[in-house]
């Protein structure tokens, strides 16, 4: 079975950012990560020991921002800052920060296809979220973590674990976690996240060869995308429809979706460039199949035309032959068996010869000819010579 690993990796990152996070995430990929690193580097162990809770929260958030910013471009640095964040949050029991760090370390193992190690970190993150749900204290809120923050962490983990089982070909387990994430998205009205999730489910079902379930998943993804107003997700679902119809052999239905998606990707080059590359590959496949289909159709039409011409020519020839030569009457299956002499006498009788004339023509006696005529009348089961000739004609003998 073919798995689109790069696609699922992109979805894993997107799902990890689904929903409102407990603290704002600033995407430093478009900024200067080096400047943020220099800020973090100033915090020596001694400075950390003397820092206030507020300063440690800011430092932990900076490490978390670096972890997230480096995640798609430098896995080693992402893990480094995840562990640095853990060194601050773990001793202090900051479960949300612990969960984020564990999950992002797990995602790096996932990206290197070290699935057992990824699962260890995902489960560690899940334990932290369970602790949040059971009343763990937040460093910024003594009441505890708000429910939407807990749901956000759970849903991100469910998506990541679902992707992990997906890559391990454990589809029922993957769908179980995807559905758990979808329930949380629905509860919080996170339509964009649900659109991303159901799009990923549609891709999974295509990989599994179940096009009916893939269509249902894409339909749900489109409903959530339209509800959220997220134009990029709508375009991604167009790409999904294009792939689905391509797999079904409906190239003329597939191409319009792929072309619309490509036009949007071309206008937004910073959005997941690999999505446009994948979409272009689908378009090339569809165009090649259409060319092949047109060639086969042209060949079939040519064959039908040649057959029609052949039939027409054959009928014309048959018609011309029938005009030139009368069609011989076929022998009837009911015709009696006659000897060569009987056939000679029958032929002369049909021409109006009398018994004496036939006897003279065949050098036989008149009595012999009369005897033959009697035998013919008996064989044809008639009563006289006229009936004999009529029956012979019906049998095609004369």
Domain identity same for 99 and 186: yes
Domain identity same for 357 and 237: no
Domain identity same for 353 and 287: no
Question: What is the C-alpha to C-alpha distance for residues 308 and 306, in angstroms, rounded to an integer?
Answer: 5
| Four-CA torsion 61, 63, 64, 70, nearest 10 degrees | 140
Asked which of 259, 292, 325 is the last residue of a domain, the reply is 292
Residuewise pLDDT in 10s, the chain (398 residues): 345 544 444 444 444 444 333 333 344 444 578 889 998 999 998 999 999 999 999 999 999 999 998 988 899 999 999 999 999 999 999 999 999 999 999 999 999 999 999 999 999 999 999 999 999 988 888 888 999 999 999 999 999 999 999 999 999 999 999 999 999 999 999 999 999 999 999 999 999 999 999 999 999 999 999 999 988 899 999 999 999 999 999 999 999 999 999 999 998 887 777 888 889 999 999 888 888 877 888 888 887 888 888 788 778 777 766 555 444 444 444 678 888 888 988 899 888 888 888 888 888 888 888 888 888 898 898 988 888 889 888 888 88
Q: What are the tokens at 3? A: 């798995």
Question: What is the C-alpha to C-alpha distance for residues 184 and 166, in angstroms, rounded to an integer?
Answer: 20
Return the CATH number at 65: 1.25.40.10
Residue 299 lies in a domain: no
**pTM above the 0.85 mark?**
no
Question: What is the C-alpha to C-alpha distance for residues 172 and 117, in angstroms, rounded to an integer?
Answer: 21
Domain identity same for 146 and 252: yes
Contact 4, 207 (CB under 8 A): yes
Query: 141 pairs with which residues across the strands?
Result: 138
Domain identity same for 100 and 158: yes
Cα–Cα distances in angstroms (integers) from residue 150 to residues 138, 145, 185, 195, 258, in the given order: 11, 7, 12, 20, 38
User: Residue 219's domain spans which residues?
Assistant: 5-292
Asked which of 292, 323, 348 is the last residue of a domain, the reply is 292
User: H or E stretch including 4?
Assistant: none
Domain identity same for 82 and 158: yes
Return the CATH number at 344: 1.10.10.10
Domain identity same for 363 and 276: no
Domain identity same for 159 and 287: yes
Domain count, the chain: 2
Residue 143 lies in a domain: yes
User: Cα–Cα–Cα angle for 219, 225, 228, nearest 5°?
Assistant: 145
Q: What are the tokens at 341? A: 């002499």
């Amino acid at each position: 079975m073919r798995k689109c690993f790069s696609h699922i990796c992109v979805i894993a990152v997107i799902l990890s950012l689904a929903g409102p996070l407990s603290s704002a995430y600033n995407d430093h990929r478009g900024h200067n990560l080096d400047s943020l690193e220099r800020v973090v580097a100033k915090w020596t162990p001694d400075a950390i020991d003397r820092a206030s809770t507020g300063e440690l929260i800011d430092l932990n958030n900076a490490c978390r921002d670096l972890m997230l910013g480096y995640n798609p471009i430098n896995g080693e640095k992402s893990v480094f800052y995840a562990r640095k964040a853990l060194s601050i949050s773990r001793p202090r029991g900051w479960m949300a920060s612990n969960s984020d760090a564990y999950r992002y370390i797990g995602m790096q193992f996932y990206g290197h296809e070290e699935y057992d190690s990824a699962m260890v970190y995902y489960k560690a993150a899940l334990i932290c979220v369970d602790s949040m749900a059971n009343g763990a204290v937040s460093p910024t809120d003594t009441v505890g973590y708000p429910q939407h923050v807990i749901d956000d962490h759970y849903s991100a983990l469910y998506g990541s674990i679902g992707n992990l089982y997906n890559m391990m070909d454990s589809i029922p387990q993957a769908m179980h976690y995807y559905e758990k994430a979808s329930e949380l998205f629905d509860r919080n009205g996170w339509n964009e996240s649900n659109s991303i999730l159901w799009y990923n489910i549609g891709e999974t079902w295509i990989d599994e060869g179940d096009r009916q379930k893939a269509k249902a998943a894409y339909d749900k993804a489109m409903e959530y995308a339209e509800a959220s107003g997220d134009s990029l997700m709508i375009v991604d679902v167009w790409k999904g429809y294009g792939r689905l119809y391509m797999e079904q052999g409906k190239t003329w239905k597939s191409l319009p979706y792929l072309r619309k998606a490509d036009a949007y990707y071309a206008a937004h080059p910073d959005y997941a460039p690999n999505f446009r590359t994948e979409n272009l590959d689908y378009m090339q496949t569809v165009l090649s199949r259409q060319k092949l289909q047109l060639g086969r159709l042209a060949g079939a039409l040519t064959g039908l035309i040649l057959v029609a011409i052949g039939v027409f020519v054959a009928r014309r020839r048959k018609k011309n032959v029938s005009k030139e030569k009368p069609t011989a009457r076929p022998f009837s299956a009911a015709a009696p068996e006659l000897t060569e002499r009987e056939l000679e006498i029958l032929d002369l009788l049909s021409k109006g010869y009398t018994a004496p004339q036939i006897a003279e023509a065949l050098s036989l006696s008149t009595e012999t000819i009369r005897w033959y005529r009697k035998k013919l009348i008996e064989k044809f089961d008639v009563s006289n010579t006229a009936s004999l000739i009529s029956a012979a004609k019906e049998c095609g003998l004369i």
